[in-house]
Chains A and B, each alone.
Chain A
Amino acid sequence: MQPTPIYDSAQLIPHALQELKEAVRYRHLLFQLVRRDILTRYKRSFLGVAWTMLSPLGIMLILSFVFSNIFGATRAYPAFILSGLMAWNFFSQSTTGAMSSLVWGGGLLQRIYVPRASFGLSAIGSGIVNLVLSFVPLVIVMAVTGVPIQITAAFLPVSLLLLACFTLGLGLAISTLAVYFPDVAEMYQIILTAWMYLTPIIYPETVIPAKYQLILHLNPMYYLVKLWRLPLYDGRWPTWGEFWPAAVIAIGMLLVGWFFFTSKSDEFAYRV
């Protein structure tokens, strides 16, 4: 049995730190929320888990068919698209998931205490599960197109960790906004679409003319997708110069998102 918890509203712990402590204490909730996401997603669909693997594969087929004339010169173009899409899908699905999960939990938040960050964290958890599953089609496509996975793939956990930090930070920030303004959810979908085309996912960064390089370098996802793709598709260890901008961006976003979220989360109960 756990010791009797004592709640004292006058405790002098900063909200950001307390939320972290509580999220750890409620780790079982995190597990259950991820489980719920996965179960409900696959329960009623005919193809079940296979769907996670088939959907990026389908998109990849379409994109490589449509764009093969333009970007066809890219080595193993289908593998190029798929590796980038994996990272992008993880990012877009998890941030959107964080938002909808918090809104789903809205009714609960008014009645019962749970660490509110659990909802965002669980979206990341579900995203990771899906990402891991989508490795199955990727490995096959890579083998078929002649760019087999190399030992450099050992770097992927680091890339994923940074991508997840960025995703969590942004997910928390936009879900805070979405609590106050319902239209944020719809706006975000539009932004996501534009953002994806601004990021070198379906095209190699080399096609960007020199004068637009600045836009590329202002896009945080550029660094994170690159850090994901280098060890996976290019089969090369990232250099220090490729690593540190991604790390700074990811950790910076996580801190901003976490502090913003926790500073507002005590107001959620009468907003959601």
Chain B
Amino acid sequence: MVEEQIPHSEQVIHLEGVSVRYRVPSERIGTFKEYMIRRLKRQVQMRTFWALKGINVDVYRGEIFGFVGDNGAGKSTLLKVVARVLRPTKGRVIVRGRVAPLLELGAGFHPELTGKENIFLNGALLGFSHREMLEKYDQIVDFSELGEFINAPIRTYSTGMYARLGFAVATASEPDVLIVDEILGVGDETFQKKCAARIEDFCRRGTSILLVSHSMATIEAMCQRAAWLDHGVLKFVGEPGQVIRAYREKER
């Protein structure tokens, strides 16, 4: 492991010996009826499997931190633990501040509601009150470039419009931690540039960003530090170039 080179600054995310265990039935039991029958026959067997094993990592204020690793290495599970969606089976997670996932843009939108109504619904899902969203409303509409369409039901939107509104709402507030899971590929080039600019702007103002990507170029270009996850174990933490080299070496 490489020594941390970043000077002392404020810790935003602290993971201490975090392990996550999934318990899955060894066979898929699809129905309640089947479950009860098997239960009575004592045939329900649980297979346990550790998606994360003893992860220790700290992320500091204003840092872009990348995760690399194969599919199923535990990257998404780790993000879920930080986002508070999953509780670690063992270990401890401390997150100081508000976490906003840049969800697959627009998850949580309702197709029948207008863009405007969806802004308030989505804002509430992120934990904002109506009044707080009112303050951000103009800025959101502005950024999403939707204009008149903001009062039309979302089902009439194009994919691009959908994504723009999703990004605009997710980033309307300045979260302390922004979770970006492999998504910056939507929208046209101009909009992508706008997104990247906003993310960089956030960092300058102190938002920490967790980035998962299979694109090594993205990781190398954007992150200050990165980590390589392999079968739930943190193999290497350090400067992105080194992490990617280590990751690729194992591939051979």
Contacts and interface: CB of A to CB of B under 8 A. Distances in A.
Tell whether A pairs with B.
yes
B130 A31 contact: yes
Contacts of A43: 112-113
B108 interface: yes
B117 A6 contact: no
Given A110-B80, A112-B126, A114-B125, A39 B32 contact: no
Contact of B108 (A6, A7, A108): A108
Interface string A160-192: 000000000000000001001111100100000
A62 B220 CA distance: 70
Contacts of A32: 120-121, 123-125, 130
Given A111-B83, A266-B87, A270-B22, A29 B96 contact: no
B101 interface: yes
Interface in B93-141: 93-99, 101, 103-104, 107-108, 110, 112-113, 117, 120-121, 123-130
Name which of A4, A28, A35, A36 has the most chain B CB atoms within 10 A of its CB.
A28
A40 B94 contact: no
B53 interface: no
Interface string A25-69: 110110111011001100110000000000000000000000000
A107 B91 CA distance: 26
Q: Interface size for chain A: under 10, 10 to 19, 20 to 34, or 35 or more residues?
A: 35 or more
B121 A181 contact: no
Contact of B80 (A4, A5, A26, A269): A269
Contacts of B191: none
A212 interface: no
Nearest to A114: B125
B31 A111 contact: no
B7 interface: no
A109 B85 contact: yes
Nearest to A105: B108
A116 B33 CA distance: 25
Contact of A181 (B32, B80, B84): B32
Nearest to A184: B32
A266 B101 CA distance: 18
Nearest to A271: B24
Interface string A1-32: 00011111110000000000000011011011
A148 B100 CA distance: 54
Contacts of B93: 7-10
Interface in A55-87: none
B30 interface: yes
Contacts of A44: 112
B235 interface: no
B69 interface: no
A177 B36 CA distance: 12
B33 A113 contact: no
A113 B108 CA distance: 12
**Closest 6 interchain pairs by CB?**
A181-B32, A32-B124, A113-B84, A29-B124, A183-B31, A9-B93
Interface of A: 4-10, 25-26, 28-29, 31-33, 35-36, 39-40, 43-44, 107-114, 177, 180-184, 187, 266, 269-270
Given A36-B110, A39-B113, A108-B103, 14 more contacts: A6-B97, A9-B81, A9-B88, A10-B93, A28-B124, A28-B128, A32-B120, A32-B121, A36-B113, A109-B85, A110-B80, A181-B35, A269-B80, A270-B22
14 contacts: A5-B97, A6-B94, A28-B124, A31-B130, A32-B125, A36-B110, A44-B112, A108-B107, A111-B85, A177-B32, A182-B31, A183-B33, A269-B85, A270-B22
